[in-house]
């Protein structure tokens, strides 16, 4: 096995961007919640190989998601009817979980929830973003989590979050990654939501190939089957065996890798690791 996915020469500094006003209605903020579990130190130094990292924008070798399904999948965009430049997942009626690095790809002013298409307003709900909360430990691929607060609640049903005890992730199990990236490297984006099944790796096995830590989970590794940076922030899920979207479980967010479809595993932000940070935000008990 070998496979890939990541943010390449991306050098976003959360320490300086947490408090930058996007406009009069949107402010990026650092959430000052204490994380219940002690932070796990990085197992590797991110930097020496960083020049080989590339932004993720595609789903290669996948298939079109049936319209009207997986409606918890979210697109991040600058304007109400513009193209999505990152993905995300609806985790409460008023909150979207995505990758913190997406702050470096464009102004996140709107989200499109429940849409089958990567631009326009023909379906789904387009809702303004009123607050952006980055994980306080985000740094070049590690702790790559971001929560967006929406101006009003959506009618679409949120996806279930992975259990905090990590019991939803099992080596060798198949997961599904989704997004609107192009289906050939350097090609145009897919107009319709795409999906790809990828096999989960243990961190022990993946660490022999990539520099990862406990905030990450690896999946995939088959040549010409991958996700890329426009898919960044999009959901990695364990699908319900009975095809019930309400029972799908969000285990990861597309984060990084080496190239697209080159036979390296893709790296996703591990949702279970961040539950102690996410839960107080969506419950309203933690404020920036």
Instruction: Count other C-beta atoms under 10 Å from residue 34's C-beta.
Output: 9
Q: How far is CA 155 from CA 44, 92, 102, 111, in A?
A: 42, 10, 25, 14
Question: Measured on CA atoms in the order 251, 161, 69, 244, is the torsion positive or negative?
Answer: positive
| Whether the Cβ atoms of residue 189 and residue 266 lie closer than 8 Å to each other | no
| Whether the Cβ atoms of residue 54 and residue 262 lie closer than 8 Å to each other | no
pLDDT of residue 29: 36
Residues with pLDDT less than 70, the chain: 1-58, 182, 184-186, 229, 286-288
pLDDT of residue 286: 66
pLDDT of residue 59: 76
> Do 161-272 and 14-34+71-156+273-283 fall under one CATH topology?
yes
CA-based nearest residue to 126, from 137, 114, 139, 143: 114
Q: What top-level class would CATH report for the domain 161-272?
A: mainly beta
Q: What are the domain boundaries of the chain?
A: 14-34+71-156+273-283, 161-272
Taking the model in full, what pTM does it have?
0.82
**Which fold is adopted by the domain 14-34+71-156+273-283?**
Thrombin, subunit H (2.40.10)
Q: What is the C-alpha separation between 131 and 33, in angstroms, rounded?
A: 16
Instruction: Count other C-beta atoms under 10 Å from residue 23's C-beta.
Output: 8
């Amino acid at each position: 096995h070998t496979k890939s996915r990541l943010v390449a020469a991306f050098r976003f500094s959360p320490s300086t961007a947490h408090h930058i006003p996007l406009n009069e209605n949107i402010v990026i903020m650092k959430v000052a919640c204490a994380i219940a579990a002690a932070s796990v130190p990085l197992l590797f130094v991110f930097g020496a190989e960083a020049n080989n990292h590339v932004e993720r924008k595609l789903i290669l070798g996948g298939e079109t998601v049936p319209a009207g399904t997986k409606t918890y999948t979210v697109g991040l965009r600058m304007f109400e009817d513009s193209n999505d430049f990152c993905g995300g997942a609806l985790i409460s009626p008023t909150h979207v979980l995505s990758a913190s690095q997406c702050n470096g790809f464009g102004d996140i002013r709107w989200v499109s929830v429940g849409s089958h298409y990567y631009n326009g307003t023909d379906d789904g709900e387009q809702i303004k973003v009123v607050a952006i909360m980055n994980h306080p430990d985000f740094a070049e691929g590690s702790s790559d989590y971001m929560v967006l607060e929406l101006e009003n609640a959506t009618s679409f049903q949120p996806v279930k979050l992975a259990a905090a005890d990590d019991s939803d992730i099992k080596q060798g199990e198949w997961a599904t990654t989704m997004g609107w990236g192009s289906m050939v490297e350097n090609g145009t984006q897919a107009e319709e939501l795409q999906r790809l099944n990828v096999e989960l790796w243990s961190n022990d096995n993946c660490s022999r190939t990539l520099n990862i830590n406990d905030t990450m989970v690896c999946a995939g590794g088959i040549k010409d089957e991958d996700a890329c940076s426009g898919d960044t922030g999009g959901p990695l899920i364990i699908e319900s065996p009975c095809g019930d979207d309400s029972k799908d479980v969000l285990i990861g967010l597309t984060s990084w890798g080496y190239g697209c479809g080159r036979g390296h595993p893709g790296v996703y932000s591990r949702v279970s690791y961040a539950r102690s940070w996410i839960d107080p935000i969506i419950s309203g008990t933690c404020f920036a």
